[in-house]
């Protein structure tokens, strides 16, 4: 019997009314991974364990770092959005080019097949000088 493996969610802090990142413990269903770096790839499976984790110095310093670099994250978001839009345009152009190349390949293949078919129907050439 195949078992279904669920991946844990990644924790993201909430934002308060003044725009600062704050901890807001979500309901944990499939586990929760905190990106603060204190316990890499460790999945918290209960709210109480995650609450304890949020009280660690490493997690608190990560939250403080996020609050100090809010503007940098916003600029990075804008840059990433522009990059994604450019990549989407490149992918669209490449898909069009791929379709055109497929049509060219099909056309040339059909010409080659037609040429081979018509040459089989013709009488073979005999070299009279060879006799």
Residue pLDDT, tens place only, 28-42: 888 999 999 887 778
- Using CA atoms in the order 78, 82, 83, 85, what is the torsion angle rounded to 10 degrees? 140
pLDDT score at 41: 78
Whole-number average pLDDT of the chain: 87
Distance (Å) of CA 50 to CA 12, 25, 26, 60: 13, 7, 9, 13
What confidence tier does 130 reach under pLDDT thresholds 50, 70, 90? low
């Amino acid at each position: 019997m195949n078992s279904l493996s669920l991946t844990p969610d990644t924790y993201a802090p909430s934002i308060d009314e003044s725009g600062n990142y704050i901890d807001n413990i979500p309901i944990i269903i499939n586990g929760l991974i905190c990106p603060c770096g204190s316990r890499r790839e460790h999945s918290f499976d209960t709210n109480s364990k995650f609450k304890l984790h949020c009280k660690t110095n490493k997690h608190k310093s990560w939250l403080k770092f996020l609050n100090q670099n809010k503007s940098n994250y916003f600029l990075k978001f804008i840059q990433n959005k522009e990059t994604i839009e450019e990549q989407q345009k490149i992918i669209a152009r490449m898909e069009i080019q791929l379709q055109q190349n497929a049509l060219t390949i099909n056309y040339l293949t059909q010409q080659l097949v037609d040429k081979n078919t018509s040459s089989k129907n013709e009488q073979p050439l005999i070299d009279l000088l060879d006799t």
